[in-house]
């Protein structure tokens, strides 16, 4: 396959509650030929999350064994749980000419930039940390110590936003998803022109 026929890798990061998933789902409603990489995690499923759709929920033992076999393109420990992207999933999509979106934390994003410098890093930011805390409380999936941990991590993640290729402020999901869509379609038109 010609290099220009390969798909592009888009990495979406941002604090949990910033709305990465919502933006990605909105974009996927209208953009074809793009896939979402379903990460492996040792975190237990939240209410409503589905195995093989939101994540592959696996045991710590299974995770460590995949890690040892070098099956992860990137991995990280976030909020006390392991998360990782399977190398094979990404390779399969890109070599099949499909674009792929990873929703991963900042540690993982910089591992991807090291290994695949041609990938595009997009940071999804909440309008403010106060608004983020408000969203997390509303979501009701975290409270007490867990909420504090996520807010602490959010502050650290926000400091890395400046190292991303794009920063999208999610103050309005409609507008922010249009912005994400233009990033993706922008790269596609460059690819078409090179053919």
Annotated binding site for ATP: 14-21
Please report whether residue 76 would count as binding ligand 5GP according to CB under 6 A.
yes
Please state, in angstroms and rounded to a whole number, the distance separating the CA atoms of residues 44 and 189.
Answer: 40
Report, in this order, helix, strand and coil percent for the chain, each rounded to 5: 50, 20, 30
Nearer to ligand 5GP, 74 or 179 (CB): 74
Please report whether residue 126 would count as binding ligand 5GP according to CB under 6 A.
no
Cα angle 190, 8, 91 (rounded to 5 degrees) comes to: 150
Q: Which of 7, 19, 108, 126 touches ligand 5GP (CB under 6 A)?
A: 108
Please report whether residue 19 would count as binding ligand 5GP according to CB under 6 A.
no
Strands 72-78 and 81-86: antiparallel
Cα distances (Å, whole numbers) of residue 94 to 109, 179, 181: 17, 23, 18
Task: Point out which span in 61-69, 88-96, 102-110, 119-127 binds ligand 5GP (CB under 6 A).
Answer: 102-110
From the list 102, 67, 97, the residue with the least C-alpha distance to 195 is 97
**Positions in 131-150 near ligand 5GP (CB under 6 A):** none
Please report whether residue 121 would count as binding ligand 5GP according to CB under 6 A.
no
Place of tokens 């507008």: 175
Q: Which of 7, 19, 84, 126 touches ligand 5GP (CB under 6 A)?
A: 84
Please report whether residue 104 would count as binding ligand 5GP according to CB under 6 A.
yes
Q: Which of 23, 27, 34, 78 touches ligand 5GP (CB under 6 A)?
A: 78
Q: Which of 19, 23, 36, 39 touches ligand 5GP (CB under 6 A)?
A: 39
Classify residue 122 by burial, with Cβ atoms within 10 Å: 0-12, 13-18, 19+. Answer: buried
Please state, in angstroms and rounded to a whole number, the distance separating the CA atoms of residues 93 and 105.
Answer: 21
Please report whether residue 170 would count as binding ligand 5GP according to CB under 6 A.
no
Task: Point out which span in 83-91, 117-125, 165-173, 186-194 binds ligand 5GP (CB under 6 A).
Answer: 83-91
Please report whether residue 58 would count as binding ligand 5GP according to CB under 6 A.
no
Beta strand segments in the chain, E = 9-13, 34-36, 40-41, 56-57, 72-78, 81-86, 99-103, 120-125, 166-169
Q: Which of 103, 123, 125, 179 touches ligand 5GP (CB under 6 A)?
A: 103
Please state, in angstroms and rounded to a whole number, the distance separating the CA atoms of residues 24 and 104.
Answer: 12
Least CB distance to ligand 5GP at residue 40 (A): 7
């Amino acid at each position: 396959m010609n290099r220009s026929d390969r798909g592009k890798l888009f990495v979406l990061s941002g604090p949990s509650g910033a709305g990465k998933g919502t933006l990605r789902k909105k974009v996927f409603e209208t953009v074809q030929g793009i896939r979402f990489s379903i990460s492996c995690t040792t975190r237990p499923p939240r209410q409503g999350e589905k195995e093989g759709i939101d994540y592959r929920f696996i045991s710590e033992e299974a995770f460590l064994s995949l890690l040892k076999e070098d099956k992860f393109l990137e991995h990280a420990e976030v909020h006390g749980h392991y998360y990782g992207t399977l190398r094979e999933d990404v390779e399969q999509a890109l070599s099949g000419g499909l674009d792929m979106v990873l929703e991963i934390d900042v540690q993982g994003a910089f591992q991807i930039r090291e290994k695949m410098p041609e990938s595009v890093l997009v940071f999804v930011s909440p309008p403010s940390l106060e608004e983020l805390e408000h969203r997390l409380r509303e979501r009701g999936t975290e409270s007490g110590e867990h909420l504090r941990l996520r807010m602490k991590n959010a502050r650290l993640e926000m400091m890395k936003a400046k190292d991303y290729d794009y920063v999208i402020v999610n103050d309005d999901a409609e507008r922010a998803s249009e912005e994400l869509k233009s990033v993706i379609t922008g790269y596609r038109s460059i690819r078409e022109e090179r053919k």
